[in-house]
């Protein structure tokens, strides 16, 4: 594994130039594998050994010492210093042995136990994601929030944090006034039971249209909302009913996506606590009442009101941001988290900046550990029913299209539950398409592109995993038995091992920037290497010893591929 070699290199360099090996360790990087040419294994920039990067004399001195003193040994077989970069090639048999043994030993924890991640702060991370609005559209933005949040929660957990997954529902506001006022006219209890999300949306659309024309309907919506705000038992019980059924339904759909939550929270939880927030703001003298009676917080340094945030309506009721302030303070007190991550599209950037600013004004220092992870817009995600309205539609579409593709391919093997397999592949396709680029960028979604079986797609990853799995099942070997390293010295085998070696660095980078694209690129690389290896390193027709070594390699590839896919939120399939 990488740490073993990094350490060996660091120790030798340290002995030569007198810099502590701990310091050097973090600057040694595995060199990514190139498809065409062979490269060295590790590199270290000489500059990283200097205390003062401008110290030319010391640079020259270190260069000379290193060229003189560095020797090849049983671990490091070659060493070169060129243009300020030290590169190293390590002993081939040792490389294969160390990496494959480590994967075999660590299994799905491989990479996450690396020394590289030892200084990652561990603690309680609260991740808030998905957060749709009941009775309104579940748009593509909510889908992105769901899969990105799930990925962040998986990642934080995998590197040793305790994680709480929160869904903060939009379960308050005028939409409930409208539903409450119009349900008796447009609603149907049976339809509500059979598909709450769809039915509430239908009712909402109808009442909304009616309220646009009919002043009376609008008025009764306001009245219902008022009743809710003041805790009227009947109004509340209808609201609880809608909310409960919606959550039941959401959980089912999330399950199809492989996503779950520890807590379904929502704006409604913070109606009363918002009043406490307003009092707190008032006591701290940061609430200004305007002449229309609304309450605002001045966000400027010199208090000139050139930037402010409205936190109170003239009837003293709360707004979206007020409830967020209350929710944040509540979570700080209730969980005493070490870090909190909100995942929404970038249109809410200002909202979260204001939120964090107000929390800071309130002296809530934990806000320094709150982050807003934002993402760009997706265009062109259409289902057969048109624009995305429900998460279920997207999943149905992905499954249906995938089933169709599977039926077309002759090579598809008979599988027990084709719909389930199609769903897992379809979800993988959605996730990879979404995670390929920088999260902040907008992108155009295309079903055909996402569902291609070659190219950098989720289908390709699933295909590679299934192909490896079926090879391993076909030739079930005694895995506990060791293998002969000399049977794995072909350039293809070495390149694959070198790629496997780099997994911890990729985890580290993915974590540092909270960008899944590094992991996606890595897994695509692994997938291509796996297929090349599969075609070049035959098991059939090889001697028992060679076959065993190759299967050992294939199994380690499968372990790492599966681990990376799961981290992204994909359930690997064994057959397709």
* Contact status: 175 vs ligand ARG (CB under 6 A): no
The only residue of 75, 89, 131, 477 in contact with ligand ARG, by rule CB under 6 A: 131
Using the minimum distance from each CB to ligand ARG, give the nearer residue, 131 or 510: 131
Q: What is the length of the chain?
A: 576
- Rounded Cα distance, 110 and 245, in Å: 41
The only residue of 75, 344, 515, 555 in contact with ligand ARG, by rule CB under 6 A: 344
Under 8 Å between Cβ of 99 and 1: yes
* Contact status: 324 vs ligand ARG (CB under 6 A): yes
Under 8 Å between Cβ of 180 and 239: yes
Q: Does residue 8 sit in helix, strand or coil?
A: helix
Three-state secondary structure string covering 213-261: HCHHHHHHHHHHHHHHHCCCHHHHHHHHHHHHHHHHHHHHHHHHHCCCC
* Contact status: 170 vs ligand ARG (CB under 6 A): yes
- Rounded Cα distance, 464 and 317, in Å: 55
Residue 227: CB minimum distance to ligand ARG, A: 23
The one catalytic residue in 136, 227, 499, 534 is 136
Residue among 357, 320, 332 at smallest CA distance from 168: 320
Q: What secondary structure does DSSP assign to 521-565, as a single string?
A: HHHHHHHHHHHHHHHHS-STTS-HHHHHHHHHHHHHHHHHHHHHH
Query: Long-range contacts: 505-508, Cβ < 8 Å, 24+?
Result: 505/2, 505/29, 505/30, 505/116, 506/111, 507/111, 507/112, 507/114, 507/116, 507/117, 507/155, 507/158, 507/159, 508/114, 508/116, 508/117
* 156 catalytic per annotation: no
Q: Does residue 167 sit in helix, strand or coil?
A: strand
Q: Which span sits near ligand ARG by CB under 6 A: 126-134, 235-243, 378-386, 440-448?
A: 126-134
Residue 406: CB minimum distance to ligand ARG, A: 34
* Contact status: 43 vs ligand ARG (CB under 6 A): no
Residue 131: CB minimum distance to ligand ARG, A: 4
The only residue of 5, 168, 224, 264 in contact with ligand ARG, by rule CB under 6 A: 168
Using the minimum distance from each CB to ligand ARG, give the nearer residue, 170 or 426: 170
Using the minimum distance from each CB to ligand ARG, give the nearer residue, 131 or 563: 131
* Contact status: 87 vs ligand ARG (CB under 6 A): no
The one catalytic residue in 27, 98, 139, 499 is 139
Residue 300: CB minimum distance to ligand ARG, A: 23
Q: Which span sits near ligand ARG by CB under 6 A: 73-81, 127-135, 235-243, 371-379?
A: 127-135
- Check residue 83 and give left, alpha or beta (phi > 0: left; psi -120 to 50: alpha): left
Q: Which residues contact 367 (CB under 8 A, 6 or more apart)?
A: 328, 356, 359, 360
Residue 324: CB minimum distance to ligand ARG, A: 5
Residue 114: CB minimum distance to ligand ARG, A: 33
**Binding-residue total with ligand ARG (CB under 6 A):** 9
Using the minimum distance from each CB to ligand ARG, give the nearer residue, 342 or 460: 342
DSSP annotation of 425 reads H
* 136 catalytic per annotation: yes
Using the minimum distance from each CB to ligand ARG, give the nearer residue, 330 or 338: 330
Using the minimum distance from each CB to ligand ARG, give the nearer residue, 170 or 295: 170
The only residue of 176, 270, 342, 435 in contact with ligand ARG, by rule CB under 6 A: 342
Q: Does residue 134 sit in helix, strand or coil?
A: coil
* Contact status: 133 vs ligand ARG (CB under 6 A): yes
Using the minimum distance from each CB to ligand ARG, give the nearer residue, 48 or 133: 133
* 45 catalytic per annotation: no
Q: Which span sits near ligand ARG by CB under 6 A: 25-33, 128-136, 226-234, 295-303?
A: 128-136
Within 284-345, where are the H helices? Answer: 320-335
Please state, as a whole number, how many other Cβ atoms lie within 10 Å of the Cβ of residue 176: 25
Q: Which residues contact 87 (CB under 8 A, 6 or more apart)?
A: 31, 40, 42, 43, 44, 79, 80
* Contact status: 356 vs ligand ARG (CB under 6 A): no
- Rounded Cα distance, 217 and 208, in Å: 9
Catalytic residues: 136, 139, 142
The residue ranges that bind ligand ARG (CB under 6 A) are: 128, 131-133, 168, 170, 324, 342, 344
């Amino acid at each position: 594994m990488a740490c073993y070699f990094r350490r060996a290199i660091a120790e030798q360099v340290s002995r030569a130039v007198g810099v502590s090996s701990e310091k050097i360790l973090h600057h040694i990087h595995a060199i990514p594998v190139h498809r065409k040419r062979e490269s060295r294994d590790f590199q270290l920039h000489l500059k990283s050994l200097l205390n003062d990067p401008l110290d030319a004399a010391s640079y020259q001195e270190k260069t000379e010492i290193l060229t003189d003193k560095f020797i090849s040994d049983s671990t490091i077989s070659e060493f070169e210093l060129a243009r300020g970069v030290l590169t190293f090639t390590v002993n081939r048999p040792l490389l294969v042995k160390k990496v494959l043994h480590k994967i075999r030993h660590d299994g799905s924890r491989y990479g996450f136990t690396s020394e590289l991640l030892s200084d990652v702060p561990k603690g309680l991370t609260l991740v808030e994601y998905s957060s749709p609005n009941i009775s309104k559209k579940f748009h593509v933005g909510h889908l992105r929030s769901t899969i990105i949040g799930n990925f962040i929660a998986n990642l934080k957990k995998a590197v040793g944090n305790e994680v709480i997954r929160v869904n903060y529902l939009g379960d308050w506001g005028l939409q409930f006034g409208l539903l409450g006022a119009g349900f008796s006219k447009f609603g149907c209890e049976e339809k509500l039971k059979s598909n709450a999300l769809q039915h509430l949306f239908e009712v909402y659309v109808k009442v909304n249209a009616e309220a646009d024309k009919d002043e009376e309907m609008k008025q009764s919506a306001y009245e219902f909302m008022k009743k809710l705000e003041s805790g009227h038992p009947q109004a509340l019980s209808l609201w609880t009913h809608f909310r409960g059924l919606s959550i039941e339904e959401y959980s089912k759909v999330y399950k199809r996506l492989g996503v779950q939550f520890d807590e379904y929270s929502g704006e409604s939880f913070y109606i009363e606590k918002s009043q406490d927030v307003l009092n707190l703001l008032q006591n701290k003298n940061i609430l200004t009442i305007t002449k229309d009676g609304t309450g605002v917080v001045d966000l400027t340094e010199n208090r000139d009101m050139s930037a402010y945030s409205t936190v109170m309506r003239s009837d003293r009721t709360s707004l979206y941001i007020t409830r967020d302030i209350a929710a944040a303070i509540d979570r700080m007190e209730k969980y005493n988290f070490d870090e909190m991550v909100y995942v929404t599209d970038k249109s809410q950037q200002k909202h979260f900046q204001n939120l964090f600013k107000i929390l800071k004004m309130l002296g809530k220092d934990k806000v320094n550990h709150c982050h807003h992870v934002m993402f760009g817009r997706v265009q062109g995600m259409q289902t057969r029913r048109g624009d995305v309205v429900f998460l279920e539609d997207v999943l149905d579409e992905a499954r249906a299209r995938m089933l169709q593709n599977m039926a077309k391919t002759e090579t598809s093997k008979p599988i027990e539950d084709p719909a389930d397999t199609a769903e897992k592949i379809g979800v993988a396709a959605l996730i990879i398409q979404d995670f390929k680029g920088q999260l902040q960028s907008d992108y155009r979604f295309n079903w055909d592109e996402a569902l291609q079986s070659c190219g950098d797609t989720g289908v390709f990853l699933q295909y590679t995993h299934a192909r490896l799995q079926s090879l391993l099942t076909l030739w079930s070997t005694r895995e506990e038995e060791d293998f002969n390293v000399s049977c794995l010295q072909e350039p293809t085998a070495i390149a694959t091992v070198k790629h496997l070696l780099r997994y911890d660095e990729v985890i580290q980078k993915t974590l540092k920037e909270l960008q899944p694209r590094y992991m996606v690129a890595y897994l695509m690389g692994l997938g291509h290497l796996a297929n090349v290896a599969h075609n070049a390193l035959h098991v059939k027709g090889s001697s028992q010893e060679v076959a065993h070594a190759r299967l050992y390699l294939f199994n380690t590839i499968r372990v790492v591929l599966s681990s990376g896919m799961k981290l992204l939120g994909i359930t690997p399939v064994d057959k397709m």
